[in-house]
Amino acid sequence: MRRYKIWIAAAVMLLVCAFFGFWIAQGRTENTRYTVAFVGKSPVESSDFWTSVRSGMEMAAEEYGVELTCCYSDAETNWEEQNKILRDVIQEHPNAILLAPASYTETIPVMEEIKSEGIKLVLVDSEAERQIQDAVVSTDNVEAGKKLGTYVRQLMRDKEGSIALIGHVRGVSTAIDREEGFREGLQKREKDIVDVVFCDSRYDVAYEEASELIRSHPDLKVIAGLNEYSTIGAARAVRDLGKQGQIYMVGIDSSMETITMLEAHVVTGIIIQKPFNMGYVAMEDAVKLIQGKPVEKRTNSGTKLITRSNLNVEENQKILFPFDSKK
């Protein structure tokens, strides 16, 4: 009888130890804070687009209990500095890195280093020549360009005139894909493209390039900017040279200044991305990858054509001003 009681007591003790062991383990899991680093390709403060991307990341980081750090190179074209920043971040060994590659080719060696260290890698907005990453969250840039080209073709209809493009950074995936899509959307009007120039994602360079295009091509009917910098810089030139109403100024990306230009009839239409959602989903994917859960290899965060006629539609206002709607 005594031995029987001892066995019962031992069994109870084992159960109690097992319960407390499980409880402690659960507490440790719930209190774990993942570390995620976002390495961008330009200072977030320089662009409404990147400000919105970061806000989406920060909201998701707060919801998932993630410690988020953000680092940026000084310009979108400075892949050397971005690679140096990435190598410094690797030394900190975060659980995951969110990366907007500054180069389609030159970022690849560091991406390989990230993966060799067992760090999860999610690309945001831009891609690289080789598929090394665990996931990509970006706009379908060919689709965005095609929407813009289709819109320009509809604007032109039977009108005569030439078309010029101002890209952001020569050789980056977003610029390549948007131009490809734009030409596809133009269809037969592609023959009217007289020039393609690049502004290195600088407002002042886009302004000068647009001014020169207007001077060099008296029959210019359309200027298409392929990102926020090129669109705003070119729109300022169209405004300052008194060409609104004569030149269709269209572009990709939204900002407060672009919207003001749209309302003032300087900009005719824009294809907007969904940067807040892009940042949120990228962070969400990073957390799932850290936890060993499956994610989509490629997520299209979506685009939409905005003109004066649909600018104030509630659905579009939520996309344009996500800081108020918070998704």
Amino acid identity for residue 178 in this structure: R
CA distances from 76 to 80, 126, 279 (A): 11, 11, 18
Domains for the chain: give ranges and CATH numbers: 32-138+277-300 (3.40.50.2300), 141-273 (3.40.50.2300)
90-126 pLDDT, tens digit per residue, is 999 999 999 999 999 999 999 999 999 999 999 999 8
pLDDT single digits (tens) 15-68:
544 444 444 344 434 446 899 999 998 877 777 888 999 999 999 999 999 999
CA distance 96 to 287: 8
**Residue recorded with tokens 């976002």:** 38
For residue 212, pLDDT over 90 is answered with yes
- Are 70 and 36 a contacting pair, CB within 8 Å? no
pLDDT value of residue 289: 98
Assign 258 a pLDDT band (cuts: 50, 70, 90).
very high
For residue range 264-299, what is the model confidence (pLDDT) as tens digits? Answer: 999 999 999 999 999 999 999 999 999 999 999 999
pTM score = 0.79
pLDDT computed for residue 7 by the predictor: 47
CA-CA distance, 52 to 58, in Å (whole number)?
10
